[in-house]
Amino acid sequence: MSGSRHALRRGPALDVAVVGGGMVGAAAALALARAGFATALLEARAPQPWHAVDEVDLRVVGLAPSSVALLHDLGVWTSIRESRSGPYAHMHVWDGENGAALDFDAVDEGRDLLGHIVENNLVQWALWQALEAAGVRRLCPAEVRGLDVREDRVTLDLADGESLSARLVVAADGAASPLRAMAGIAVHGRDYAQRAVVAHVVTERPHERTAWQRFLPDGPLALLPLADGRSSIVWSLPEAEAQRVLALDDAAFMRELGTASDFRLGRIVSTTKRAAFPLRLQLAETYQAERLVLLGDAAHAVHPLAGQGVNLGLRDVTELRDVLVAARDAGRDFAAAHVLRRYARRRRSADTLDARGFDALARIYAWQAPPLVAARGLGVRLLDKLAPLKRRLAEHASGL
């Protein structure tokens, strides 16, 4: 790997250095390279190779049409779809306290599908595999220990003593982003004191290519359709309750999950192992600093109740690519502060609206006082009958 670093130092100057090779970072590196920017991707750990014979990854993402469009544009969607993806055409959301429900159907939106449930590591691996052919120079393992911002570029100091410079640095290094801290960008938010318990389950009845979500006082429970007929569950629970559920034996877990899901798909017949991930709302104060931008979890972390976290990150990628290309094609410095501000304003405004909206939903569905529960039910039933407003919500979630 040291040879590739030396080649990088002797080679042409970098336009963009993307730090973080998860789904969003890898998509950003691929998108920018395909747009003609000399790009490097720095990642601490290479992704695990994805194989069709492996068990389905416990972490899945619901890819909205906007994300599918980007992945298609990057030349990786066909491979992902044909490898293992769970398409869904319907969504049923209901309130565990009052029974009020919302139904979304792709046909009503003039589409074949609402989205696809895909394993995180499949998406990351497909993107990672496409990087070399696109001319992205991968540095892995690589860890940034410092950055030095100069008038026309940024120099990154790496843990192994090497350094590289680029006209723009893209921080896609996660919710705890070291680069964000180095750039002095603060974050605001709140810890939900919850964990999302995840597993894959076989149910008595088929999932019907439907994403099911029940709102309960402790948090939402989603059953998402997998390609193999099983459902992936994402069950948001208070910390202590999540630990209790994780400690149950399989039989007890399946009984409690069946009750929590209102047996909408019948009994839970079998389950995989379980895992849990902490939930937090977090927004960066700004998405830019001098010659540096944030995207993905480095910029925003949201509640999973709407399954939009990765979709927001991929919309960041599309916006950043389009803004940089427009500036470059107009003969301007694509990493100038006024150019980066355009990206930062647009995406932070959109992400803040979504993140606060998801947070408000989480608070509203936590109401347990009978008058508030009744009012919530009335509002949901009214919304379900207002086709234009419901269509606007579906269009917003699709990102198109």
Both tokens of 161, joined, read 């003593």
In three-state secondary structure terms, 21 is: coil
The pLDDT value recorded for residue 386 is 61
C-beta separation of 387 from 334 below 8 A: no
For residues 13 and 245, give the distance between their C-alpha atoms in angstroms, rounded to a whole number.
52
C-beta separation of 154 from 107 below 8 A: no
The pLDDT value recorded for residue 365 is 62
Q: What is the DSSP string of 71-131?
A: HHHTT-HHHHHHHH-EEE-EEEEEETTT--EEEEEGGGGTSS-SEEEEEHHHHHHHHHHHH
Exposure class string for 272-303: b at 16+ Cβ within 10 A, else e: bebebbebbbbbbebbbbebbbbbbbbbbbbb
DSSP 263: T
The pLDDT value recorded for residue 2 is 34
Q: Which residues of the chain have pLDDT under 70?
A: 1-12, 305-307, 356, 358-369, 372-400
The pLDDT value recorded for residue 388 is 60
Q: Which of 72, 66, 111, 69 is nearest to 90 (CA)?
A: 111
pTM across the whole model: 0.89
For residues 118 and 60, give the distance between their C-alpha atoms in angstroms, rounded to a whole number.
5
The pLDDT value recorded for residue 383 is 61
Q: At what angle do helices 77-84 and 65-73 cross, to 10 degrees?
A: 120
Q: Which of 261, 269, 258, 270 is nearest to 204 (CA)?
A: 269
Q: Tell whether domain 2-363 is in CATH 3.40.50.300.
A: no
The one-letter code for the residue type at 205 is R
Q: Where are the alpha helices (DSSP H) in the chain?
A: 2-10, 23-34, 65-73, 77-84, 120-131, 178-182, 239-247, 250-260, 309-329, 337-364, 370-385, 387-398
Q: Which of 117, 40, 123, 93 is nearest to 212 (CA)?
A: 93
The pLDDT value recorded for residue 352 is 82
Q: Which of 108, 70, 76 is nearest to 89 (CA)?
A: 108
| Percent of the chain whose pLDDT exceeds 70 | 86
